[in-house]
Amino acid sequence: RGLGAGGALRRGALAGPCGAKKGIHPEWHQEAKVICNGEEVMTVSGTKAEYNVDIWSGNHPFYTGDGSNIIMDEGRINKFKSRYEGLDWMMGDQGTSKDSKDSKDEGD
């Protein structure tokens, strides 16, 4: 790409095996350690030799499937219902709940 006629480098072409300019990039570590709670959990490559993290995929509830931190108590459900109780008219026929159908049947 950067070669002109006769195999010589063209003006403005990047030098080096990957085409990166020399002297402007940080040192690259092929095997950088990722440490969580004082324990090495994985190895990655990056600009630091060691990364200290608080959360990684091995202990995050989203990745481990642990849903115990989501608590649906009665107070939260009632708060949601009270906030949106008057908006069922926006849904039209789709928004009718089972309770409203039952109350219509009772009137017949």
Residues contacting residue 3 through CB under 8 Å, at least 6 positions apart: 9, 10, 13
User: Using 50, 70 and 90 to split pLDDT, how confident is the model at 95?
Assistant: very low
pLDDT in tens, 47-84: 999 999 998 888 887 777 776 656 667 777 888 888 88
pTM: 0.42
Q: Name the 3-class secondary structure at 38.
A: coil
